[in-house]
Structure 1
Amino acid sequence: MTASAFARFGVSCAAQPRGAGRQTPGLAKPRQVGRGATSNNGTALADLAQENGAVNGAVNGVQNEGVAQIAVNGSSAEKGATISRINYIPRSRWPKGIPPVMGAHLMPSGEVAPVSTSKGAGLGGIPHKFFYPDEKDNYSVLQFGSPAAVGSGLASYVQEASAAAIKERGAFTLVLSGGSLFKALSPLIGLPGLDLSKWHVFFVDERNVPHSSPDSNFKGANEVLLSKVAIPREQIYAIKEHLPVKEAATEYAGQLLRLEETVLPRNAEGLPVFDVILLGLGPDGHVASLFPNRSQLAATDAWVLPVENSPKPPPERITFSLPLINSAKQIGLVAMGEGKAEIVQRVLEVQSLPGALPAQLVRPTAGSLTWFLDVASAQNLSMHKWESSKDFPRST
């Protein structure tokens, strides 16, 4: 107990008598209380010590170095009296807990910081809404010499998948994204050996606009590809026009639900399993209409989701959910041109926070993922170092 602590009770302090016990390093020099000292309310110090000792279990007669010596009943060490050493634990001045303003718990605004409601690590917390699926060795990265070579590679990829699916169950399901992907698939036009009568074509995302709109993925695919191949029109599944976006998403999911499992099988979780889903890569790392850190990216309870506030126009869209995409047998992710070089390098070589780069969450649960790149989009990659555990995964 320090001199200032004794002073609270009106107790005077005298110098430590010669020959007292050795001082413990780091503790204040022990002091002896003068005889007959009383508190300011008339209670003898010994009684006060006993009272507090009874409350706190702190009274003891054990010699303890570095603890203040208290003279009881006027006796002193110099007269050979027994010295009681007391570890005094004062009662809290805050019976309801330390006020939040203590300990600098103030925010820069001057407001009192909110009191934590945490129950402890892993108890009662809210889990992060984005997550990385389990790592699987089921992906490959293909680099081609030109965009035309990428198109030829894509056509062969689709052709092989089509043949395998039709042989297995008599149908092939292909899911398209938008953008430059339709042009890349033009080598499919006139490709021999394709049984197009067994094809079923879907859209991984679509803008909630009329089919005649220049923003329509259906219009873009039809002009460049679908109108030039012999796929039955009723086996091309477009968004229903002129519906509110939430109803449009529900209606498109209904189109999938109505298909026989010989056309669109289900996995153990009840999710449709498409044969091939082809995705583009946005400059911010988005795929389909799953944009960075948006709620749709974390959705797990629907096949098709409405998007009401897309960061790029038009604002209303529908999109496959991430679990539905990852249930596919094969996923092809296509990125071409110098403008995609930076985002390709970030997605493939820099591990981001979950949700920051949606393309990093494309990890098929039971299928495979294949990247299709040209020289320009792959120019920032360090593929020759990928096998080095020292260099990868990169964090810069």
Structure 2
Amino acid sequence: MGRPPNLYSFADIDSDLAPNLRKYVLDQQNEACKRHGVFRIAVSGGSLPKTLAKALLPPSNGSEEDKVDFSKWQIFYADERCVPLNHEDSNHKLVQEEWLNKIPKEMAQPEVFTISEEHLDDAQETADEYEQKLVSVFAARDSVKLPLFDLILLGCGPDGHTCSLFPDHPLLREQDAWVLSISDSPKPPAKRITLSLPVVLAAAKVGFVATGGGKKDVLKKIFETEEGSKLPCGLVNEGGGEKVSWFCDQAATEGVSFPRRGSVI
């Protein structure tokens, strides 16, 4: 694996974790814009959008490095449920309500790539259509094996799932497709689409945000056991190594003996 992932543990989400997450995200934004003039990021749902709002919506400290430039952002979904975009189960609706709708009017707005609502009854068709959106952005000029996101931000389920990649599911073995469909999700709704594990691992950086005491058992398993290294989050750790960073609070890392890093700032 090379060097291991970075595990950060903060005393407080608002005053510690959020500012460090801001620095981390903006470092990737600034690097990406230097590389190719745009920042391509994939995000998940759960509690992540609310934490992103806390991190990214406060005003800049005045330095160029601390400036959020949403005009350069292209936002994709690491996974999505096959439901209308205004449905309660939609990750897009959650991201909109918790984060995007709160972006001040004077700031530029990011470009957001949502699923098509045309074939929601057919998860494979929805996945194929979303993959074509990725192809149009990442392979517009020439063919590429995998889309190279600048940053993918994920959550961690209590079972160790991430995106809509679940433990022991056949989708974990998929090597070629960029976007996968799942019709038997252990968590409702059953029909979803998700980025494949190779796409996640191809990203320049992968960040997890996992907070609360409900995460401590699975984090201990992921970071300290052979069994946990085979869970989807563990597979990202194994395959991504040092380009993977975990942003957690102390409740989530209680009892985890894996070495923690102090801060990004």
Q: Normalized against structure 1, the TM-score is what?
A: 0.59
Is the contact made by 2:160 and 2:167 (CA closer than 8 Å) also made in structure 1?
yes
Distance between the aligned counterparts of 1:265 and 1:379, measured in 2?
47
Specify whether residues 381 and 266 from structure 1 end up closer, same or farther in structure 2 by C-alpha distance, changes over 3 A only.
Answer: farther
1:101-135 per-position Cα deviation (integer Å, ceiling 9, x unaligned): xxxxxxxxxxxxxxxxxxxxxxxxxxxxxxxxxx1
Per-residue deviation, residues 354-382 of structure 1 (Å, max 9, x unmatched): 74x11110045597000111110000112
**For 1:201 and 1:184, how far apart are their aligned partners in 2?**
16
SS in 2 for 1:291: coil
In the TM superposition, residue 334 of structure 1 has moved relative to its aligned partner by 1.4
Residues 102-251 of structure 1 mapped to structure 2, 5 A cutoff? 135-137=1-3, 139-148=5-14, 149-186=16-53, 187-192=55-60, 193-229=67-103, 230=107, 232=109, 235-243=111-119, 244-251=122-129
Q: Is the 8 A contact 2:40 2:151 kept in 1?
A: yes
Alpha-carbon displacement from aligned partner over 1:309-333 (angstroms, at most 9, x marks no partner): 1001111000000000000000001
Q: How far did 1:383 drift?
A: 3.6
Note closer, same or farther for the CA distance 1:328–1:367 as it changes in structure 2 (3 Å cut): farther
Q: CA RMSD in A?
A: 2.2
User: What runs of 5+ residues in structure 1 fail to find an aligned partner?
Assistant: 1-134, 386-396
Answer yes or no: is the 8 Å Cα contact 1:209–1:242 preserved in 2.
no
Conserved? CA contact 1:266–1:272, under 8 Å: no
Cα deviation digits, residues 215-248 of structure 1 (max 9, x gap): 0000000011112234546x20111114111100
Gaps of 5+ in 2: 61-66, 261-265
Structure 1 SS opposite 2:26: helix
Change (3 A) 1:175 1:213: same
Asked if 1:303 corresponds to 2:150, the answer is: no
Q: Give the distance between the partners of 1:265 and 1:369, measured in 2 at CA.
A: 28
1:271 maps to what in 2? 146
SS in 2 for 1:377: helix
* Distance in 2 separating the partners of 1:175 and 1:365: 16
Question: Of the two, which has the highest radius of gyration?
Answer: 1
1:320 paired residue among 195, 220, 227? 195
Larger RCO (alpha carbons 8 Å, 6+ apart)? 2
**What SS is found at the alignment partner of 2:226?**
coil
Distance 2:229 2:243 in 1: 20
Distance 1:176 1:375 in 2: 23
1:351 deviation in Å? 1.2
Distance 1:299 1:147, change over 3 A: same
Q: 1:204 to 1:231 in 2, by over 3 A?
A: farther
Residue identity opposite 2:77 in structure 1: F
Q: Once the 2 structures are TM-superposed, how far is the Cα of residue 255 of structure 1 from its aligned partner?
A: 0.2
Instruction: State how many pairs are aligned.
Output: 246
What residue number does 2:63 align with?
A: none
- Cα deviation code 1:67-115 (max 9, x no counterpart): xxxxxxxxxxxxxxxxxxxxxxxxxxxxxxxxxxxxxxxxxxxxxxxxx
Q: CA 1:199/1:265 → structure 2, altered by over 3 Å: closer, same or farther?
A: farther
Q: 1:285 to 1:217 in 2, by over 3 A?
A: same
- Within the alignment, does 1:258 sit opposite 2:132 as a pair? no
Task: Report the equivalent of 1:64.
Answer: none
Number of the residue aligned with 2:64 = none
* Code of the aligned partner of 2:248: L
| Cα distance change of structure 1 residues 384 and 209 upon mapping to structure 2, 3 Å threshold | closer
The residue type paired with residue 282 of structure 1 is: G
Cα separation, 2, equivalents of 1:161 and 1:171: 11
Letter in 2 for 1:218: H
Whichever residue aligns with residue 251 of structure 1, its letter is E
